[in-house]
Amino acid sequence: MNYRHIYHAGNFADVLKHAVLARLIRYMQKKDGAFRVLDTHAGIGLYDLSSEETQKTGEWLEGIGKLMEAELGPQVSELLEPYLWAIRELNPEGGIRFYPGSPKLARMLFRPQDRLSAMELHPEDFIRLHRLFEGDHHARITELDGWLALGAHLPPKEKRGIVLVDPPFEEEDEYQRLAEGLEKAYRRFPGGTYCLWYPLKKGAPIKEFHESLQALDIPKMLCAELVVRSDRGTTGLTGSGLVIVNPPFTLKDELHQLLPALKDHLAQDRFASHRAFWLRGENKAIKDDS
């Protein structure tokens, strides 16, 4: 395993993923009962954007760097508030030096009764993640292949939960593996809310991936995609997508507000676009203003 998220922390893909994760957490907290966030590919949890690794790529400058300086309308500001609050809390002197990965973001947004299970396979990253949460009884950190967690760690004892699956996509078959992993996990925990991240880039089998998800016996799957630049002349990441299984009933309308704003502020060229639609369930697509 060679992927290290520190090179990409805070980029446009993280912004979309973490903004939606924060919304899912806030929705779960509308009920008093405890829930668990299961993060299958957790990384190191907290990123120093002044580090040599992040400075080498500078991807955060085109992501959270732009968003924190953007003038957001009141509705979008309200939706992004949990996510941006966490970043401000980590940077009390202003600016953006520290950026929360998904396990740290979730933990910062928790109530006393909420819990975290975070898996990381990379040995060095696991050590850093474990140190970050050492002594925190709300968090269980495990050195484990995140794909195995979709069987071994479901269902959670709380019987409510968010399962975030954000694989590194180092292998060509990981789109199919993501669909197969969801199928296995859903059989064990059909009441969970799942958030699956996937990359958009030239030649990616997105149509086939969506079709494999549509073939599953899962009633409701909502898809959101954000593209920030053209894929002409590059084989790199040009956009990212999320598939949300059992989405909150409010999420459709929230994406209708969030996606256009993210596209406007994070666009890298005139080919930026967004779309959101039901893969399974309600057949009415969210308007695409791209």
Q: Is 288 a catalytic residue?
A: no
Q: Which residues pair with 124 in a beta bridge?
A: none
User: How far apart, in whole angstroms, are the C-alpha atoms of residue 236 and residue 11?
Assistant: 13
Does residue 253 have a known ligand-binding role? Answer: no
Does residue 41 have a known ligand-binding role? Answer: yes
3-state secondary structure of 139: strand
User: How far apart, in whole angstroms, are the C-alpha atoms of residue 226 and residue 276?
Assistant: 9
Does residue 145 have a known ligand-binding role? Answer: yes
User: How far apart, in whole angstroms, are the C-alpha atoms of residue 175 and residue 190?
Assistant: 21
Does residue 166 have a known ligand-binding role? Answer: yes
**233 CB neighbour count, 10 Å cutoff:** 7
109 with 84: CB under 8 angstroms?
Answer: no
Say which of 14, 39, 125, 166 is annotated catalytic. 166
Does residue 65 have a known ligand-binding role? Answer: no
User: How far apart, in whole angstroms, are the C-alpha atoms of residue 36 and residue 83?
Assistant: 18
In order of 9, 38, 129, 169, 200, the CA distances from 139 in angstroms are: 21, 10, 11, 26, 31
Closest CA to 254 of 15, 67, 76, 31: 76
Does residue 48 have a known ligand-binding role? Answer: no
Does residue 120 have a known ligand-binding role? Answer: yes
Annotated binding site for S-adenosyl-L-methionine: 18, 41, 102, 120, 145-146, 166
Query: What is the set of active-site residues?
Result: 166
Annotated binding site: 18, 41, 102, 120, 145-146, 166
